Chains A and B, each alone.
Chain A
């Protein structure tokens, strides 16, 4: 499994940016995917998740980004995207894409973040 993020950079508050995640080594179209971010020197924060097309490709978002960020996927290209609009200084972070896997048996509903990319740094500053 390989996940490679790209597209990070320096933007001003209020601007937009799209980061991407190129996936390989597994059947991307069957995978649920998430974005997790980490502000400099801080802990991990779940950003949002997209299910597989087979599960409706539905999305969920953390409250701080809901309405501003959009997760999408292109299964024909094995690509995951995070469109970030109306960026704020507090969105400055390393953004990681991850695969989502689940336990087995009685723990089938336990979802965890199994494989991670190396991250891409987004800096929002005037």
Chain B
């Protein structure tokens, strides 16, 4: 199975900050990498697919980058509604696996 490792596990940031979350795969997954946002008590929401493609309706504050084993999710200009947990997920092979999550908290 492909292991997905996110860093950091949590971070504190202020409104307006630029935040970057990293996701590393245990083997090359090309660009088969998706990002989800999950707010407390809610279902996850797709943000980015295929490493950098922004899902329809998602704010352009969110951007994704990377290929191979190393990927990033960047939030430019953090807004109050962005405080949540973020997960990466690989779609290169079955079983589909998620990172452990990165919780973005208010500083």
Contact = CB atoms under 8 A, between A and B. Distances in A.
Looking at chain B's contact residues, the main secondary structure is: loop
A23 B43 CA distance: 16
Contact of B46 (A49, A63, A114, A118): A114
Interface in B11-43: 31-32, 34, 36, 38, 42-43
Interface residues of A, number: 23
B45 interface: yes
Interface in A12-32: none
B70 to A, nearest CB: 17
Interface string B75-105: 0000000000001010100111111110000
Interface string A42-82: 01111001000000000010110000000000000000000
Interface of A: 34, 36, 43-46, 49, 60, 62-63, 96, 103, 107, 109-114, 116-119
Interface of B: 1, 31-32, 34, 36, 38, 42-46, 49-50, 53, 55, 87, 89, 91, 94-101
